[in-house]
Amino acid sequence: LIPGDITLDVRRRERLGFDEAILAGPKSPEHLTAILDRAAEHAMSLLLTRLDAARFEALPERHRSRIDYETQSRTGFYGAPAALRPRTEAAVITAGTSDVPVGREAARTLRYYGYGCLEIADVGVAGLWRLLDRVAEIVDMRVIIVAAGMDAALPSVVGGLVPGAVIAVPTSIGYGVAAGGTTALHAALASCAPGITVVNIDNGYGAACAALRIIRHG
Amino acid sequence: LIPGDITLDVRRRERLGFDEAILAGPKSPEHLTAILDRAAEHAMSLLLTRLDAARFEALPERHRSRIDYETQSRTGFYGAPAALRPRTEAAVITAGTSDVPVGREAARTLRYYGYGCLEIADVGVAGLWRLLDRVAEIVDMRVIIVAAGMDAALPSVVGGLVPGAVIAVPTSIGYGVAAGGTTALHAALASCAPGITVVNIDNGYGAACAALRIIRHG
Amino acid sequence: LIPGDITLDVRRRERLGFDEAILAGPKSPEHLTAILDRAAEHAMSLLLTRLDAARFEALPERHRSRIDYETQSRTGFYGAPAALRPRTEAAVITAGTSDVPVGREAARTLRYYGYGCLEIADVGVAGLWRLLDRVAEIVDMRVIIVAAGMDAALPSVVGGLVPGAVIAVPTSIGYGVAAGGTTALHAALASCAPGITVVNIDNGYGAACAALRIIRHG
Amino acid sequence: LIPGDITLDVRRRERLGFDEAILAGPKSPEHLTAILDRAAEHAMSLLLTRLDAARFEALPERHRSRIDYETQSRTGFYGAPAALRPRTEAAVITAGTSDVPVGREAARTLRYYGYGCLEIADVGVAGLWRLLDRVAEIVDMRVIIVAAGMDAALPSVVGGLVPGAVIAVPTSIGYGVAAGGTTALHAALASCAPGITVVNIDNGYGAACAALRIIRHG
Amino acid sequence: LIPGDITLDVRRRERLGFDEAILAGPKSPEHLTAILDRAAEHAMSLLLTRLDAARFEALPERHRSRIDYETQSRTGFYGAPAALRPRTEAAVITAGTSDVPVGREAARTLRYYGYGCLEIADVGVAGLWRLLDRVAEIVDMRVIIVAAGMDAALPSVVGGLVPGAVIAVPTSIGYGVAAGGTTALHAALASCAPGITVVNIDNGYGAACAALRIIRHG
Amino acid sequence: LIPGDITLDVRRRERLGFDEAILAGPKSPEHLTAILDRAAEHAMSLLLTRLDAARFEALPERHRSRIDYETQSRTGFYGAPAALRPRTEAAVITAGTSDVPVGREAARTLRYYGYGCLEIADVGVAGLWRLLDRVAEIVDMRVIIVAAGMDAALPSVVGGLVPGAVIAVPTSIGYGVAAGGTTALHAALASCAPGITVVNIDNGYGAACAALRIIRHG
Amino acid sequence: LIPGDITLDVRRRERLGFDEAILAGPKSPEHLTAILDRAAEHAMSLLLTRLDAARFEALPERHRSRIDYETQSRTGFYGAPAALRPRTEAAVITAGTSDVPVGREAARTLRYYGYGCLEIADVGVAGLWRLLDRVAEIVDMRVIIVAAGMDAALPSVVGGLVPGAVIAVPTSIGYGVAAGGTTALHAALASCAPGITVVNIDNGYGAACAALRIIRHG
Amino acid sequence: LIPGDITLDVRRRERLGFDEAILAGPKSPEHLTAILDRAAEHAMSLLLTRLDAARFEALPERHRSRIDYETQSRTGFYGAPAALRPRTEAAVITAGTSDVPVGREAARTLRYYGYGCLEIADVGVAGLWRLLDRVAEIVDMRVIIVAAGMDAALPSVVGGLVPGAVIAVPTSIGYGVAAGGTTALHAALASCAPGITVVNIDNGYGAACAALRIIRHG
């Protein structure tokens, strides 16, 4: 990588209210270091996603020490996150324990921008009582993010129970026809509940950004 | 079609307990007539499926008069169906009104072989109370056939509520990613509820045959 | 269709704030009439979508006279829509003139529930100035619905320019690899702009419902 | 993983007659340990599937010593399985030796719940005599589970020979167009034999649960 | 169409032993007429395939009168076919009556070049005895063409019973996952029987050409 | 359609050198008329593509009389095309006679902008001599457009014989795995000949525009 | 693996003229050893395919010493192959050097059964002269096996040049749209040359078996 | 590999102006060495692509010392590249930093043949100003290569801004629906901007060859 290979979107925060987010997954430590160097120059904060522990450990100490890293979600805050706002307007619901990392990526992204959320985990529809027991907690939320893999029946059921914005995040959890998350994606898109929206497979970050576009303006 | 083009499986009833079923959909009236002529020779009964009204009307009077035809399911009984048994051991549940024809094909197939069923329609998960109101009626059934298109969340929810055999029939109802029924099929196969089985898209007939394989033996 | 084949979700409005919407497309006039009869009994309002002109004309006069029908969007309001609210908080943008019917379905759905919107049409990215000329009009909207087929580059560009909620509706407009809308769907889901959400192909109705979940609560 | 990330379905056994089953495949040892800890608290039994030998060895001794582990099927019984019933009502048939692990997962699941089965292996249709020699042994079984990859012709042939319930488990064995099991899945769904049902690819566990739904009730 | 739009492969017969075959399906009557005019100029014979009755009737009398047309296979011989050879070295087997048109296209193509064949119809594997009764007739054939749709289990079974060349023709017969013939194609390619070859879906003509490449040389 | 539904890209010609092209295929006569009215207002020329004869005839006389229409390619020039340049720098080659309409769309598009081309038809690789006989005519062309369906082997062969720019247009001609043109598209993209580029299926118009981008600049 | 898990098709040689072939790829050394032990008991010869060097080395010495192993094709002869026949009736042609392993698997399979072949490598159509230079060597062969990946244009060109049986083996060589071999498979099936047959991706073994079915009988 | 397994296209340079390019990715060091030995014999230059650092290091010193290797693009020049021409007629634009390796492969290929280019990186449409700031630099280029993954909106935007030849290279960068590059490929093919052409996913080499076919002739 040479200097000309990076053109940070330094005007993004003023335009959209978002900092640049760096999808660390496919990038080498050298590549990430070059980006963080550039961010340090501009004194920009960044959100790092899909930063697995090994890649985090491989960063130079000068950057690692500035990163608030969380293992499960594989996210890092480079620079200080916004102060936490008092009111909780979003919930993040996951269908199975394997979906938790995706849900937590959403929760961490919200937190980076100063928003807390209620996390409810492992309430898939095969044991429906687990969700029904907790409907009262989510019925007044402005945004409910629902992360589910396999058949992704949960967003449809949630969307039929609460009036707020429902953002489905299909996850890649599953095997056979569910492998990779396409079944979950299609099921969420084809939901019979009115007004559910969907983001890309495993895109907890994107769901949180969508939630922020909603919560901040209104 | 020449005589050599048809080889009826005349030993099927003794082997499997099923008569031949004729998928009328892609066959011309001449083709169907040739098959019915052959069945008449062997004094066989037949179940006709996907026989739309126009094609039924185009059959020669000698065959049409022997057929008990039902429009919604597009099924015909050629020859007398079995006497109705007193006990109802199966339910047929449909998610939306557009799924009813597929569910009724299953109900009619069961009836052809002498079995009644409980039909519950239009109870998709977007309005969950509709199903929950009726769980008591199905909780003791030996077999529950569930026909659903779009995201096919209904089989998962049913499979999590009742202990009997659950056979999902994905339907081709839907548009966009749901068009043709593949999403419903995949969602049913990837169900998080344990022990749901699945048949081909729109195959109400097959679901009923599977139910018969269960109910008759046990 | 027999009476037991319909189970209207009569509690939906109080639960979600939505009336039932009837996807008229795959339903016969008899089927639609049965549903409207049932709605009349319960004095429910309904939104009819994908009701093409021929099918609308085939409805009995008693129902047709109660329907406010719009050709381009193929929507009908059965019963009076809500009064129009004074403030416009949503925009509906379409990439090409062939996408207008999908965009208008969204606009009509908003209108049914009493919300107006700004419609901007035919501003695909191949002639970028057309969109840039109008950014000022949408930059403060709470929700922007973007309907686009083919390569669906428009939602990404819009999502990079404005901070409000962006809901992409991929359309089935296109040929070759774009036929049926899958390319547009995937492009919208894979958008490089942060926080765009997506609904099913051609689902203008669903995009509007999602917008209502946002606008009503906040 | 934090405590709130797990919500065991503690009412499943009374509702459906099934314990929770843990798909160990995608879960880390920490994740599995947390689930087993929770199960120990509730004194629940669990069935572990797709637990490869390495992951089993990585569990803490306190859990490992309580697990009856079988290598080929990669299954573990956590807590004592039910007592073996005297009567064999199910057969598990596999097409090739590479399909045996999937078939054994089904057999082990049946065993966990106290049901034995007849296992017949390596009888694919390319050497038809191998199956025909053994038809007498399966013709009266209530349920026949058939695991087959590649072209999955075996379920169709079995379904044409015996009257009991036939549950096809497509396997991911094969290469080229057969890679991943989609061809086997589709062939089983499109079977010309009446009343075959299908579960997800490699889902021996699910096939056994479906068999249990049949055998227990009737 | 202008004269320059047609470049007949006039050297094909000497090179490969085949005349040009015209896939009439997607061509207009004008287009076909232009090709036949050109063939007449060169005194070439042609085989016409997928020539439905309506399109055949629309040809000018000067061409229609020179064509030996057969309805079921939709084939036409333009110019005299070769004399029939005394020995039958090929069989054409079809799984269901709906597969007969594809099988007959193969038989007619063989006939055009002077080769007869044994046709065996409606012997799908769901009623296995129908095929087993006739194995003796095909066990010494040099080539066996097997046309089958849906799950296409028949080629695998045939390939396991006879030592000659087996050419599978998947057909587009079926619905749901079988629609269009892809499942049949993949099942035939993934066959567990050794040495089966496959041609394109519904390509009875191609299967016959492959048989001719075998029978003529050896 | 209301006036706001059309936003012509009136600055396209100065920016790119192209007029707007109207894909008439999915548009109603009313829709086309509205666009032509708008073009007339701006005194713009337009190229109409996929305008079938019936739709052309349905246009109002005031527009029809201004259109130079060609049946085979289904193209219309609205307004006068550019004067024909003396030099021919492009060839359009088609593999089969059924590919000619796509090739001619490219030729007509070139002509609209004042460029002639050499058309060579029906020279697919199954009769290789037909192409080899004509290599000398194309070896010095700056651009060769190659339209081919089915297995689309022709672009690879051409790309290995000539040094100029080769633009492959996969066509939707074919059946079975070739239906719709995806096989041709993928084969062209995966070509073993270096430097072939590809446009969307059946997109003769696009291939010609790409040729113009090459020929005009250099 | 327990003894009951293996049912060798000991009657295959007399029925079809083939020994069992063991696809070693997905099998563990224990699994392979169990099969070879069984074969040793029955004094059967076997052909091992997809046996990579590491897995071969892991076999017990008692079996390894009896195997004639070839690295490139990853094949092993267990037991003595048939004596080499004097006449060469088959050619194996490969498009690129990366396709050679697949071609060699075919050559080795032929050799196992006593048949030699002419191997011609690296003659893809992008440099057409390489193939044209060698047509005379193959024009009289009874069978030509053509292994090609990427766009697989070579089988079409060969099929248009020679009258013998042409068996295409698509290979998984390629990237992007060619990854995995589906494009090569589809191109071969959609070939414009008459009478080409196709086997599964990378199935050199199957192509050779098909060749043997042809060469032995006739 | 034996000598007969390689048939270099030694006449390619005179025919097309290209040397052979060796896709090193799937080839073993032995395989590559054999090819380089052959090239050395013929004193041919070669371009090596997808040669990762490990594989480069594994080459014998006699070859390694003759290769000009570049890490990011994984390309090697075997033999001296052409002298650099003074004029820059091409630009290579990349959407994100992860797309740079593909863009650099194109740049290096151009350089091998003596052509320089302008590289502009990280200017995806989510921050549109980054591209708009640099339009003046590319508006007069004869060829613009645009490498983009995910939704690949960049080629459409570029194609709407500049009149030169635009060659899109979809990249495999992305996850979920974007994984593998198919979404980027389809979006580029379905572009609403006129006259964009496309090469295979990640095929920077092919894009450069296409550019050379354009730049050299005209």
Mutate to test the interface with E, among F97, F104, F123, F202 (most CBs of E within 10 A): F97
Chain B: nearest CA to E115, how far in angstroms?
Answer: 20
Chain E: nearest CA to G43, how far in angstroms?
Answer: 21
Judged by a CB distance cut-off of 8 A, whether residue F130 touches chain E is yes
What is the tens place of the pLDDT at every residue in G196-209? 999 999 999 999 99
Contact yes or no for F122 and E25 at CB 8 A: no
Residue F36 has pLDDT above 90, yes or no: yes
Residue B1 has pLDDT above 80, yes or no: no
pLDDT of residue D1: 67
Residue of chain C whose Cα is closest to the Cα of A143: C214
Percent of chain A that is helix, strand, coil (3-state, to 5): 40, 15, 40
Which helix H or strand E contains F166, and what residues bound it? strand F165-170
Contact yes or no for F200 and H190 at CB 8 A: yes
Mutate to test the interface with B, among A192, A196, A201 (most CBs of B within 10 A): A192
Per-residue tokens: D162: 């015996």
Query: In what side-by-side order are the strands of the sheet with A21-23?
Result: A21-23, A46-49, A75-78, A67-70
Per-residue tokens: G153: 């244009």
The owner of tokens 């019973």 is: E161
Residue G218 has pLDDT above 80, yes or no: no
State how far the Cα of B149 lies from the Cα of A148, in Å rounded to an integer: 19
Residue of chain G whose Cα is closest to the Cα of D176: G201
pLDDT of residue A42: 87
Residue of chain A whose Cα is closest to the Cα of C191: A200
* Average pLDDT over every residue of A146-165: 97
Judged by a CB distance cut-off of 8 A, whether residue E127 touches chain D is yes
Residue G1 has pLDDT above 80, yes or no: no
Q: Which has more pLDDT, E42 or B146? A: B146
Which helix H or strand E contains A29, and what residues bound it? helix A29-41
The model's confidence at residue C1, banded by pLDDT at 50, 70 and 90, is: low
Across chain G, the runs of DSSP E, i.e. the strands, are 21-23, 46-49, 67-70, 75-78, 90-94, 118-120, 143-148, 165-170, 196-198
Size of chain B, expressed as the number of residues it contains:
218
Considering only the beta carbons, identify the residue of E6, E35, E180 that sits closest to F121: E6
Considering only the beta carbons, identify the residue of F7, F172, F181 that sits closest to C123: F7
Residue E2 has pLDDT above 80, yes or no: no
Residue of chain F whose Cα is closest to the Cα of H135: F15
Judged by a CB distance cut-off of 8 A, whether residue F127 touches chain E is yes
Considering only the beta carbons, identify the residue of A27, A172, A203 that sits closest to H98: A27
Q: Range with the lowest mean pLDDT among A18-32, B56-70, F50-64, F122-136? A: A18-32
Considering only the beta carbons, identify the residue of F1, F12, F202 that sits closest to C175: F202
- The identity of residue B57, as a single letter, is E
Q: Is residue B99 within 8 Å of residue B188, measured between CB atoms?
A: no
What is the tens place of the pLDDT at every residue in E75-85? 999 998 999 99
- Chain C residues whose beta carbon lies within 8 Å of the beta carbon of residue F170: 176
pLDDT of residue G131: 96
Residue F19 has pLDDT above 70, yes or no: yes
Q: How far is CA D68 from CA B145, D42, D79, D82, D111, in A?
A: 35, 19, 8, 13, 12
- Is ipTM > 0.85 here? yes
Considering only the beta carbons, identify the residue of H4, H9, H180 that sits closest to G127: H9
Per-residue tokens: C162: 């404005």
pLDDT of residue H28: 86
pLDDT of residue F53: 94
State how far the Cα of B84 lies from the Cα of B67, in Å rounded to an integer: 18
State how far the Cα of D3 lies from the Cα of D8, in Å rounded to an integer: 11
Contact partners, residue A170, CB within 8 Å, separation at least 6: A148, A149, A152, A181, A184, A185, A187, A188, A198, A201, A202, H176
What's the DSSP call for residue A216? Answer: S
> What are H90's strand-pairing partners?
H143
* Average pLDDT over every residue of E14-35: 90
Chain A: nearest CA to H100, how far in angstroms?
Answer: 7
Chain F: nearest CA to H216, how far in angstroms?
Answer: 8
Q: State the count of interchain CB pairs (< 8 A) between B and D.
A: 103
Per-residue tokens: D52: 């490869």
Residue D155 has pLDDT above 70, yes or no: yes
Per-residue tokens: H125: 């449409």
Q: Which has more pLDDT, E218 or B110? A: B110
Residue of chain H whose Cα is closest to the Cα of C188: H151
What is the tens place of the pLDDT at every residue in D51-108? 999 999 999 999 999 999 999 999 999 998 999 999 999 999 999 999 999 999 999 9
Contact yes or no for G217 and E164 at CB 8 A: yes
- Helix and strand numbers (H, E) in chain H are 10, 9
Residue of chain F whose Cα is closest to the Cα of E6: F122
- The identity of residue H140, as a single letter, is D
Q: What pTM did the predictor assign?
A: 0.97
What is the tens place of the pLDDT at every residue in A43-87? 889 999 999 999 999 999 999 999 999 999 999 999 989 999 999
Please report all neighbours of B, defined by 3+ CB atom pairs within 8 A. A, C, D, E
Contact yes or no for E176 and B200 at CB 8 A: yes
pLDDT of residue B22: 93
Please report all neighbours of A, defined by 3+ CB atom pairs within 8 A. B, C, D, H
- Chain B residues whose beta carbon lies within 8 Å of the beta carbon of residue D190: 200
Contact yes or no for F16 and H196 at CB 8 A: no
Residue F112 has pLDDT above 70, yes or no: yes
Q: DSSP 3-state assignment of B170?
A: strand
Mutate to test the interface with A, among B97, B98, B125, B166 (most CBs of A within 10 A): B125
Contact yes or no for F218 and H216 at CB 8 A: no
Q: Is residue E136 within 8 Å of residue G211, measured between CB atoms?
A: no
pLDDT of residue A25: 85
Residue of chain B whose Cα is closest to the Cα of E101: B1
Please report all neighbours of G, defined by 3+ CB atom pairs within 8 A. D, E, F, H
pLDDT of residue A1: 67
pLDDT of residue F57: 95
Residue B143, Ramachandran bin (φ over 0: left; ψ between -120 and 50: alpha; else beta) = beta
Chain G: nearest CA to E37, how far in angstroms?
Answer: 22
- Chain F residues whose beta carbon lies within 8 Å of the beta carbon of residue C119: 4
| Terminal alpha carbon distance of chain E | 42
Judged by a CB distance cut-off of 8 A, whether residue E15 touches chain G is yes
- Chain B residues whose beta carbon lies within 8 Å of the beta carbon of residue D15: 160-161, 163
Contact yes or no for G174 and F190 at CB 8 A: yes
Q: How far is CA H130 from CA B49, B151, H107, H135, in A?
A: 61, 41, 21, 9
Considering only the beta carbons, identify the residue of H152, H183, H190 that sits closest to C150: H190
Judged by a CB distance cut-off of 8 A, whether residue D96 touches chain E is yes
Query: In what side-by-side order are the strands of the sheet with D67-70?
Result: D21-23, D46-49, D75-78, D67-70
Q: Is residue G89 within 8 Å of residue G143, measured between CB atoms?
A: yes
Q: Is B183 exposed, middle or buried (0-12, 13-18, 19+ CB in 10 A)?
A: buried
Residue D172 has pLDDT above 70, yes or no: yes
